[in-house]
Structure 1
C-alpha cells in the first residue's frame, strides 16, 4: 500500500479481475509452500524453491528458517571445501533479496548467520576484507534509505565483529557493540583487536554518524547510534569541554532551524543526562551553549512547546534560586500551549512553590 491512498487500494480489491489475479497468485504460492514443507522434498529442491519464493517476497521468516536448516544439514554432511562457496552464495542471495525489500527482517537475520559462518572458515586477513566490504554495502543501503533501522543495526553488528566483541551482556547501558545478542552469531568469531585499532574503528563510526547527521539532523537512527558511541568518545577524548561544546552547538543549530524537530530535543536530553556533571566546567557550558541561546529563541518561536520545555529542563538540571521565576514562567507557558499535559505542568509548578516556601 505504500505510495497509494487507502481508497485506491480498496477500489482495486473490489475489481473482479484484480481479485481473480491475486487469488491465482495466492494459490500458486500455497502450492510452492506445500512442496517446500513436504517431508520427501529433496534438499536441493527446497533450496531452489525458497530462493525463488524469497526473491519475490523476502518477508516470510519460516522460509528463511527452512533454508537455513537445509544449508546447515548439507554443510554437516558435506566437505568443508564446499562451505565457503555455499556461504558466499548466500551473501549474494540475501543482497538480492534486500534490494527487493530492504526492511525484510528474515533477510537481515539470514545474512548475519551466513556472514558469521563464513568468518569461522576464513583467515584473519580474509575476514577483515569481508567485513570492510560489508560496511561498504551497508553504506550503499543507507544512502538509499538513511533511516532504515535494519541497516543501522546491521552496521553495528559488523562493527562488533570488526572489534571482536562477544560479551554476554546485552544491556543497552553497557558496551554498545555486542555481536552475541544476535542469536545466530557464533561466539569467538574473531579475536579482539588492539586498543589502537579499536579506537580507529570507533572513530570512523563517530565520523560516519556526524556525516549522516549533517545531511539530515532528523535522522533518528544516526542520532541513536551516536548515543551508543558517546560513552566511548567521552572517555577517550582529550578535550571533553570542546567535545561537548561541539555537540551542543550541533543541537542548537538544528533547534534554530526547526524548533519542533523532536530528534534534536531527544539528543539534548540524552546529553543533559549523560554529560559529565562532576566536571566544574559543565554548568557554565550548559549556560552559554544551551540556556542562553534558548532564551534568545523563546520569543521567536511562541507556538513551539519544545523551546520552553527544553529551557525548563536545562534550568531544572542545575536548579538555582535565581532561575526559579524563569522556570515558573516556562511551565505557565507550557500550560497554555500544551494543554494536553496541563496537569503535569501544574504538578511541577506546585513543586516549585513548595521549594519557595521552604526557602522562606
Structure 2
C-alpha cells in the first residue's frame, strides 16, 4: 500500500538479538523519561536548574526518541520562554539590545534547526508542528519585526521542500497558507513603522526606507499554477487557487471585463484538463467551483461576487461548457463524474431567469437531456441509484 504515492516500508521478522537490543533501548528510554520528569518536578534544592540549557538538552534527547510525548513539548516551551527572559542570562553584566536580540535569535533558530530532522522522520506528528508554530510565534513577539520576518520567510524553504516530496499533502498546504498569512502581517507592520518614521523624520537626513509589497497573493497564485502543472490531480493546489482568485482580482483592481477575461482563461484551462482526464475528481471540483461562482443565480460568497456576469453572459458560458462536455461524453459515455457535472450545468441553466435573449436556449431540451443523463447515471452508478432517481423525479 502507499499513501499519496509514497510506498510504505515492508516489515521483517525480528530475531532474538534484535528483541534484546530493543529491550535495552526501552530501559534506556525509561531512564531518560525519569530524568526529564525529575527536571519537571525537582526537589527544592534543584529547582533553580529546572529551566536551564541543560534541561533543554535533556528534553531534546527524549523528544528525538519519542516526539509524541506532548507533555515534554509543553515543558520545553516553558524552558524556552524562561531562557528568553533578560534575567536568565548567565552573564552578570547587562547586555545591550543588539546582544540580547542576537541571543534570542540564536536560541529560536537552534530550536527550529532541532525540529527539522524530526519533521523529516515524523512528518505527520502534530506536536512537532505545533511546537514549530510556537517558536515562530515567539519570534514575532520577542524579536524585532525585521528579524522575525526573516525567520518566517526562511520557513517557506521548509514548506517548499515538504511539498516537493509530497505535493498533495493537505497538512503542508495548510501550513503554507499559515506561513504566508504571518509573513504578510509582519510586512504590513513593518511598512506601517517605515511610514511613521518617514512622517516623523520628514526633513531630516538619514530617514530612508522603502515599503515592500505586503501581499503574496500573486506569488502564491503562480505557485498553484506550477504545482497543478506538475500534477493535475493535486486537489490542494486547485483548492488554494480558488481561495486566492478573489484576492488576486481584487488587488489587481480588475474591471468587470478583465474578470470575465480571467474566467474565460480558467475555464479554457479546465476544458483542456478535463479532456486530459475526465475521471479526475480534483479537476472536476475546480471546474464546478468556477461555474458555481460565475453562473449561479445565487451569490455564493459573503462579499462581492468574484465574477459579475450578466444573465446572457452566464447563458453563453454555460452553453459553451455544455457543448464541449457533450462532445467528451461521446468519447467517455460511462464517465460518472462527467455526467454529474453535466447535470449540474443543466441545473444552473434552469435556475437562471428567462430572458428575451434566450433564442438559442431550449430549456425543455436541457430537461430531457438531464433525464437521459440521470438514466445513464443509474446504470453506471447503481450504488447511488436512489439519489439519481429522486433527482429525476424532481425535474
Q: TM-score, normalised by structure 2?
A: 0.73
Which residue of structure 2 lines up, in the alignment, with residue 357 of structure 1?
none
Query: 1:196: Cα distance to partner?
Result: 8.4
Which residue of structure 1 lines up, in the alignment, with residue 340 of structure 2?
309
C-alpha contact (below 8 Å) 2:295/2:348 kept by paired residues: no
Q: 3-state SS of the aligned residue for 1:218?
A: coil
Which has the greater radius of gyration? 2
Q: 3-state SS of the aligned residue for 1:204?
A: helix
2:254 to 237, 241, 252: 237
Query: 1:4: Cα distance to partner?
Result: 4.9
Q: Does 1:202 align with 2:233?
A: no
Q: Does 1:102 align with 2:129?
A: no
Q: Does 1:217 align with 2:226?
A: no
Which residue of structure 1 lines up, in the alignment, with residue 22 of structure 2?
22
Deviations 1:153-187 (Å, cap 9, x if unpaired)? 2221121112218xxxxxxxxxxxxxxxxxxxxxx
Aligned CA-pair RMSD: 2.9
Query: What runs of 5+ residues in structure 1 fail to find an aligned partner?
Result: 166-187, 353-360
C-alpha contact (below 8 Å) 2:224/2:238 kept by paired residues: yes
Change in 2 beyond 3 A, CA 1:191/1:121: farther
Which residue of structure 2 lines up, in the alignment, with residue 340 of structure 1?
383
Query: 1:120: Cα distance to partner?
Result: 2.7
Query: 1:276: Cα distance to partner?
Result: 5.8
Question: Which segment is superposed worse, 42-51 or 315-324?
Answer: 42-51
Question: Which segment is superposed worse, 43-52 or 303-312?
Answer: 43-52
Q: 3-state SS of the aligned residue for 1:164?
A: helix
Partner Cα distance (2:169, 2:192) in 1: 28
Query: 1:18: Cα distance to partner?
Result: 4.1
Q: 3-state SS of the aligned residue for 1:266?
A: helix
Partner Cα distance (1:270, 1:60) in 2: 41
2:88 to 54, 78, 81: 78
Which residue of structure 2 lines up, in the alignment, with residue 52 of structure 1?
61
Which residue of structure 1 lines up, in the alignment, with residue 135 of structure 2?
114
Q: 3-state SS of the aligned residue for 1:197?
A: coil
Partner Cα distance (1:126, 1:35) in 2: 35
Query: 1:51: Cα distance to partner?
Result: 1.5
Partner Cα distance (2:373, 2:19) in 1: 57
Which residue of structure 1 lines up, in the alignment, with residue 322 of structure 2?
291
Q: How many aligned positions are there?
A: 325
Partner Cα distance (1:24, 1:326) in 2: 71
Q: How does 1:243-254 map to 2 (within 5 A)?
A: 243-254=262-273
Partner Cα distance (2:386, 2:230) in 1: 38
Which residue of structure 1 lines up, in the alignment, with residue 184 of structure 2?
163
C-alpha contact (below 8 Å) 1:334/1:342 kept by paired residues: yes
Query: What runs of 5+ residues in structure 2 fail to find an aligned partner?
Result: 43-48, 90-99, 196-210, 297-307, 351-362
C-alpha contact (below 8 Å) 2:334/2:380 kept by paired residues: yes
Question: Which segment is superposed worse, 234-243 or 155-164?
Answer: 234-243
Query: 1:256: Cα distance to partner?
Result: 1.5
C-alpha contact (below 8 Å) 1:105/1:150 kept by paired residues: no
Which residue of structure 2 lines up, in the alignment, with residue 265 of structure 1?
284
Q: Does 1:350 align with 2:380?
A: no
Which residue of structure 1 lines up, in the alignment, with residue 158 of structure 2?
137
Deviations 1:39-92 (Å, cap 9, x if unpaired)? 127433431122123334444333322211221233234254532221111121
Q: TM-score, normalised by structure 1?
A: 0.80
Change in 2 beyond 3 A, CA 1:73/1:242: same
Which residue of structure 1 lines up, in the alignment, with residue 37 of structure 2?
37
Change in 2 beyond 3 A, CA 1:271/1:86: same
Q: 3-state SS of the aligned residue for 2:13?
A: helix
Query: 1:118: Cα distance to partner?
Result: 1.6
Change in 2 beyond 3 A, CA 1:66/1:286: farther
Query: 1:336: Cα distance to partner?
Result: 0.5
Query: 1:316: Cα distance to partner?
Result: 1.0
Query: 1:312: Cα distance to partner?
Result: 0.8
Q: 3-state SS of the aligned residue for 1:12?
A: coil
Partner Cα distance (1:283, 1:62) in 2: 59
Query: 1:189: Cα distance to partner?
Result: 7.5
Question: Which segment is superposed worse, 58-67 or 327-336?
Answer: 58-67
